[in-house]
Amino acid sequence: MELKRYLKVLFRWWWLALVAFLTVTTASMVFTYTQTPSYEATASLVVSPAAAVAELPEVRASLSVLDTDIINTYAEIAQSRTILEQAWSDLDVPPETRWRFKARSSVLQQTNLVLITVAGPDPAIVHEATNAIARHTVDYVSNLYEVYELKLLDAAARPHSPVSPNKKLNLLLGFVLGIGTAIAFTFVAEYLRAPIEEMEQLSLMDAQTGAYKRSYFLHRLREEVSRSNRHQRPFTISRMRVDNLDEIIKLYPPRTRELILQRVVHFLRQSLSEENVIAHWEDGDLVILMPDCDEPMARQAIGRLHTRMQWTLFEVEDLDFKLNLTASFGMATHTSNGAGPDDLLRKATEALHRAEIVGGNGIHRLEDEAGG
């Protein structure tokens, strides 16, 4: 059931979901294909005991685990300003271009390896810069310690494909994000729409009874007459009045009429299908618009309503009011090219009066003859 609700929301706001999806996916495509490619190259250096001291037994034991501070020092040297300037000088790369390339060095965990990586938009410069930094680092370190030496293990290879942007991943993320954004926008729109509809609904409702206002009923009646004439489909209206209501409320406070009518309107809503329009007409009278309902269908529906009402106990807890109520109904059915709204209302009112003349608690109908 919940899934159907969610699908209904998506179908209602499909155009907003489509706009959100296309906006996000288009933005991800533009970002992906306009982003400057970045290439990376990596060279590896190895730190080891110098050959001259590694053969001495008393020294070899102390060098079984190299000093991590020494290895980290070598890694920092590799990315120092001195080494980088020497490397850039070898390549003759102008200063205004160097900022587009980023060099970094790191120590591979639990090893004696120092990794030097350069990233940038030009694969040739990236390749040459990585090897130049590795070469100058080895030359510089060779004069620092006699116990340790730094050697080139693997020179950098020229990259053939960029490491970023990852077009497939970006497009996939853009697609997923587009779907998520589309769904989020539809539910936000639904959330914002609900209070507006509630306010509109409140402006159409009669505060005393909880039914629709007379003005709204007349508006719907005119629409229904036009639709009936256009599509050749009948409909019925019914005027309704609770029998002897004025006599009943004499023993109760003034608000009793209002509270009883609220219970009656609630009863009508539970008893009739939701497409029917229940409105407060005047002086406690109610009127019901029954779309697509011909005379036999309307008589059957009102008949069930009339019978059920007699067996329903209407309660107003605040007033300790418990009573079975009866009502009189006056029906008028509109057929294609039949009476207009005013004539239809007149016939329903006259039918109500005839139902009351014969003692109330009944249903009366006047024929809606073509042409009024």
| Residue-by-residue DSSP string for 70-105 | HHHHHHHHHTSHHHHHHHHHHHT--HHHHTT-EEEE
Q: Is the dihedral of CA 32, 34, 35, 36 positive or negative?
A: positive
Average pLDDT, the chain: 85
At 10, give phi and psi (nearest 5°).
Answer: -65, -40
pLDDT tens-digit map of 169-220: 888 998 999 999 988 888 888 777 765 555 445 468 888 888 998 888 998 9
Share of the chain above pLDDT 90, in %: 44
Check whether 73 has a pLDDT greater than 70: yes
pLDDT tens-digit map of 1-55: 456 777 777 888 888 889 999 999 999 899 888 888 999 999 999 988 776 655 5
Question: Strand 313-316 and strand 321-324: pairing?
Answer: antiparallel
pLDDT tens-digit map of 9-21: 788 888 888 999 9
Q: Please say whether the beta carbons of 170 and 28 come within 8 A.
A: yes
Check whether 281 has a pLDDT greater than 70: yes
Q: How far apart are CA 129 and CA 160, in angstroms?
A: 16
Q: Locate CATH 3.30.70.270 in the chain.
A: 205-366
Of 3.30.499.10, 3.30.70.1130, 3.40.50.720, 3.40.50.10800, the CATH number of 39-154 is 3.30.70.1130
Q: Please say whether the beta carbons of 121 and 100 come within 8 A.
A: yes
pLDDT level of residue 372 (50, 70, 90 thresholds): very low
CA distances 173 to 14, 136, 163, 169, 189, Å, are 21, 41, 17, 6, 24
Of 3.40.50.10540, 1.25.40.20, 3.30.70.270, 3.20.20.140, the CATH number of 205-366 is 3.30.70.270
Q: Locate CATH 3.30.70.1130 in the chain.
A: 39-154
